[in-house]
Amino acid sequence: MAIEETSQPDLLLIEPDAPALHYWRDLWRYRELLWFLVWRDVMVRYKQTAIGVIWTVLRPLLAMAAFTVVFGVLAKMPSGDVPYPLLVFAGLLPWTFFANALSESSGSLVGNANLLTKVYFPRLIVPLGSILASVVDLVVSLALMGGLMLWYGFLPGWRLAALPLFLLLCSLFLCGAGLWFAALNVKYRDFRYLVPFLLQFGLYVSPVGFSSAVVPESWRLLYSLNPMVGVIDGFRWALLGGRGEVFWPGVALSTLLSLLLLVSGVWFFRRTERILADVI
């Protein structure tokens, strides 16, 4: 007698008091949705713009030119033996990635309200997708940095191998801040206006257009309370063959603060996630 085999679809159980491990297991099960959201964000980013993806190249180059003129030519800030455009662009790489990803992730839950109120999936996927979509712009900017280094005759040394570590440090800080602002933006829409202001303020107080070596030694640790200081210094150190100065106690402080922000961000997001569909 023949035995009829039937395939059963995966059963999804939503348990309000399920252990945390179940949540992270669900996050892995929905990884295809994460990649779909990343692909969608990349495809619509420059849709209906006149020059399309050229903005990815044009924006960092224009910012580099503006900072070089203001800080290098007019203010005559020191850059050591590094051409000022290279110093600026090495700082713009992590800052532009951080600013774009934080801006997109902070509004990601509100922007996907229709999706959030219709089906279940781990909501953490939404801000993570916005952050990962910004990696595409970072890769393009890194290619531009490579072209500039060749133009100025800079060859990357062994320190280039440390670049992923500083990118990881930037991602820890970014994910922590992104989760906090994404959850807060659902409850308080004031953050829609606060986040752009904080990013503009952060651009001025971070060493993007100048070297952090101009900060007095006695203030370096206090200055490193801004985690992007350690990230930007690390990018310059790795890309410019050690010519960029790194204040290692500041990097250690940036790492500690970024880890604390990430852990608290995940905790706050998970608490808020339970009521997202009701208040969004």
Question: Residue 15 — very low, low, confident or very high, per pLDDT cuts 50/70/90?
Answer: low
What percent of the chain has a predicted confidence (pLDDT) above 70? 91
Work out the average pLDDT over 106-127. Answer: 86
Does the pLDDT at position 2 exceed 50? Answer: no
User: pLDDT tens-digit profile of 161-209?
Assistant: 999 999 999 999 999 999 999 999 988 888 889 999 999 999 989 999 8
Distance of alpha carbon 70 from the chain centroid = 26
Question: Helices (H), strands (E): how many in the chain?
Answer: 14, 0
For a pLDDT cut of 90, what percent of the chain falls above it?
45
pLDDT at res. 17: 58
The overall average pLDDT reported for the chain is 86
DSSP 224: T
How far is Cα 209 from Cα 46, in angstroms, rounded to an integer?
27
Band of residue 121 on the pLDDT scale cut at 50, 70, 90: confident
Residue 216, C-beta contacts closer than 8 angstroms, at least 6 positions apart? none
Model pLDDT, residue 234:
92
Q: Tokens 């992730």 identify what position?
A: 105
- Name residues whose C-beta falls within 8 Å of residue 177's C-beta, 6 or more positions apart in sequence: 102, 261, 265
Dihedral sign, Cα of residue 263, residue 264, residue 270, residue 276: negative
**pLDDT: is 251 or 120 the higher one?**
251
